[in-house]
């Protein structure tokens, strides 16, 4: 725990849904649910308007529909989420070189490492200083994202900063003055401590512990007996707000990964294997160029219903060999049920070492300069998923409002227009096509 409140946690509010409301003016102020719309789909994010009807993340979409039938149910547009995330992370990086992204919409920022000449509001990091800075930063988030809000917590540790950012969501700022951390935590449920999931919470309940205050009454020895050594120490410290974990810059730099998202759900196993093989080649090339190798190979698979699966396997020594990475990636895929379709595939290598173990695997390979391109075929039948971006030859840009029985209905509007008109077309109308943002590859 630091002497000053210099750890900032920022969390964008209802991120996916907020991006959809920004880009679809007719949905502003209305319930929006982003997630899988198919039979096994789950809710990824619900707008605050939908939350009023009891819709929550990770609920099945079926349940969400029964609670809020008039909500707009949309599949995700990851290109838009990634682009918006980059705007926010870029803003945070301009504040401090020490930022630790936790996901697309969440990051820690170490204010003690910030350039205070460039950010005079930070002053001496007093409570008044960081409060003024947090207010300014939240205004900047609205500016750079074109209207999204963030909630911010500022405290003496990562744990308390993250708890604080959640207290006044959405669009809130909470600064926890140094010395008041334990008073803040005491009345809270013990499950506020990271790692206290349902199983741990149940064990604590059995010994009469529900709140952090009750947790404080257990000695370290008692907690170790109850939960094991590592968890016992952890809970004993965090219940007292003792958290010295540093903000670690650029977590993603600890791994090298490549991923692709696809317009249509992939179902062909052979195609998926070829894509993974190609991605493994790209990862290996990047590792070699940086003189790195790694022990853990991970694949990331997002299913059509929005579930994201990560599977990994660890080698006894590091590799930078494309063939090895590809073989392990394909083996990991073989254990997954992808029959419902896949919309994202990725390969990564982590556990990096700055040295290369040349030949332990007995798989020496030629340096491949040219990796084979893998063509992703378009479905013969075009699929129009709700929410996706489209462009019509005469009407311009819009998004799919719904489709079925050979008809697709489009609302023509973007973030820069007022709420726009709705038109219906035949599903195979040649004047209508999916819209993708220009990528550097298109140059
Ligand atoms: Mg968030």
Q: Phi and psi of 309, rounded to 5°?
A: -110, 135
CATH 1.20.120.10 fits 186-238, yes or no: no
Ramachandran bin of 431, using left for φ above 0, alpha for ψ from -120 to 50, beta for the remaining angles: alpha
Q: In percent, how much of the chain has pLDDT > 70?
A: 90
- Find how far residue 219's CA is from the centre of its chain: 37
Where is the binding site for Mg(2+), in residues? 11, 105
Q: Going by C-beta distance under 8 Å and a sequence separation of 6 or more, which residues neighbour residue 11?
A: 105, 106, 150, 151, 152, 165, 166, 169
Q: 3-class SS at 102?
A: strand
Q: 3-class SS at 182?
A: helix
Secondary-structure percent of the chain, ordered helix, strand, coil, rounded to 5: 35, 25, 40
CATH no. for 1-174: 3.30.70.270
The region of weakest confidence among 137-151, 197-211, 313-327, 390-404 is 313-327
Contacts 24+ apart (CB under 8 A), 390-397: 390/432, 390/433, 390/434, 390/435, 391/432, 391/433, 391/434, 391/435, 392/423, 392/425, 392/431, 392/432, 393/431, 393/432, 394/431, 395/421, 395/423, 397/435
User: pLDDT for 25-41, tens place per residue?
Assistant: 999 999 999 987 766 67
Cβ < 5 A residues, ion ligand 1 = 11-12, 15, 105
For residue 107, the CA-to-ligand 1 centroid distance in Å is 10
Q: How far apart are CA 120 and CA 26, in angstroms?
A: 40
The whole-number pLDDT of residue 88 equals: 97
> For residue 442, is pLDDT > 80?
no
Q: Going by C-beta distance under 8 Å and a sequence separation of 6 or more, which residues neighbour residue 289?
A: none
Binning pLDDT at 50, 70 and 90, where does residue 429 land?
A: very high
User: pLDDT for 266-286, tens place per residue?
Assistant: 888 889 999 999 999 999 998
Q: Going by C-beta distance under 8 Å and a sequence separation of 6 or more, which residues neighbour residue 143?
A: none
For residue 11, the CA-to-ligand 1 centroid distance in Å is 5
Q: Phi and psi of 299, rounded to 5°?
A: -115, 150
The whole-number pLDDT of residue 370 equals: 47
The region of weakest confidence among 235-249, 264-278, 297-311, 355-369 is 355-369
User: pLDDT for 62-73, tens place per residue?
Assistant: 999 999 999 999
Which residues does the annotation mark as catalytic?
106
The region of weakest confidence among 91-100, 166-175, 256-265 is 256-265
SS (HEC) of 321-360: CHHHHHHHHHHHHHCCCCCCCEEEEEEEEEEEECCCCCCC
Q: How far apart are CA 89 and CA 139, in angstroms?
A: 15
Q: How far apart are CA 156 and CA 241, in angstroms?
A: 9
More confident residue, 405 or 184: 184
User: pLDDT for 114-161, tens place per residue?
Assistant: 989 999 999 999 999 999 999 999 999 999 999 999 999 999 999 999
The whole-number pLDDT of residue 372 equals: 55
Please state the domain extents for the chain: 1-174, 186-238, 253-353, 389-442
- Residue 213 burial by Cβ neighbours in a 10 Å radius (0-12, 13-18, 19+): middle
Supply 411's token pair: 């609302």
CATH no. for 253-353: 3.30.1490.100
The whole-number pLDDT of residue 355 equals: 52
The whole-number pLDDT of residue 36 equals: 77
For residue 59, the CA-to-ligand 1 centroid distance in Å is 16
Q: Phi and psi of 103, rounded to 5°?
A: -165, -170
Mean pLDDT, rounded, for 304-324 = 82
The whole-number pLDDT of residue 375 equals: 67
Query: Please, what is the average pLDDT of the chain?
Result: 88
Residues 421, 426, 431, 435: is their CA dihedral positive or negative? positive
For residue 142, the CA-to-ligand 1 centroid distance in Å is 14
For residue 194, the CA-to-ligand 1 centroid distance in Å is 16
For residue 14, the CA-to-ligand 1 centroid distance in Å is 5
The whole-number pLDDT of residue 194 equals: 82
Where is the binding site, in residues? 11, 105
Contact criterion met (CB below 8 Å) for 435 and 414: no
């Amino acid at each position: 725990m630091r002497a000053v409140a210099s750890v900032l946690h920022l969390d964008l509010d209802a991120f996916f849904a907020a991006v959809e409301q920004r880009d679809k003016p007719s949905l502003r102020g209305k319930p929006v649910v982003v997630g899988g719309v198919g039979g096994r789909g789950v809710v990824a994010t619900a707008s605050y308007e939908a939350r009023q009807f009891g819709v929550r993340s990770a609920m099945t979409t079926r349940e969400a529909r029964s609670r809020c039938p008039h909500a707009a149910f949309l599949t995700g547009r990851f290109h838009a989420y990634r682009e918006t995330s980059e705007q926010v992370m870029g803003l945070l990086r301009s504040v401090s070189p020490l930022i630790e992204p936790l996901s697309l919409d969440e990051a820690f920022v170490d204010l003690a490492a910030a350039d205070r000449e460039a950010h005079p509001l930070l002053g001496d990091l007093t409570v008044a200083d960081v409060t003024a800075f947090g207010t300014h930063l939240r205004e900047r988030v609205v500016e750079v994202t074109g209207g999204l809000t963030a909630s911010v917590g500022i405290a003496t540790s990562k744990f308390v900063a993250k708890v604080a950012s959640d207290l006044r969501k959405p669009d809130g700022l909470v600064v926890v003055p140094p010395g008041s951390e334990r008073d803040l935590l005491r009345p809270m449920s013990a499950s506020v401590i990271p790692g206290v999931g349902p199983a741990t919470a149940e064990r604590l309940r059995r010994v009469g512990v529900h709140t952090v205050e009750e947790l404080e009454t257990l000695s370290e020895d008692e907690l170790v007996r109850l939960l094991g050594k590592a968890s016992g120490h952890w809970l004993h410290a965090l219940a007292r707000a003792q958290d010295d974990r540093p903000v670690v810059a650029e977590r993603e730099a600890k791994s090298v990964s490549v991923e692709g998202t696809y317009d249509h759900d992939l179902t062909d196993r052979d195609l998926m294997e070829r894509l993974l093989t190609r991605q493994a080649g790209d990862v290996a090339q990047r590792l070699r160029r940086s003189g790195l190798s790694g022990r853990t190979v991970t694949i990331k698979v997002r299913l059509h219903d929005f579930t994201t699966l990560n599977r990994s396997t660890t080698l006894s020594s590091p590799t930078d060999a494309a063939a090895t990475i590809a073989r392990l990636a394909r083996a990991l895929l073989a254990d997954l049920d992808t029959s419902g379709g896949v919309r994202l595939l990725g390969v990564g290598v982590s556990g990096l070492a700055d040295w290369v173990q040349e030949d332990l695997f007995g798989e020496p390979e030629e340096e491949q300069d040219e990796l084979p391109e893998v063509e992703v075929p378009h479905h013969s039948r075009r699929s129009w998923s709700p929410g996706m971006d489209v462009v019509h030859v005469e009407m311009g840009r819009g998004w799919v409002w719904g489709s079925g029985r050979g008809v697709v209905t489009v609302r023509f509007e973007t973030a820069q227009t007022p709420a726009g008109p709705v038109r219906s077309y035949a599903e195979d109308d040649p004047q209508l096509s999916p819209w993708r943002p220009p990528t550097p590859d298109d140059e």
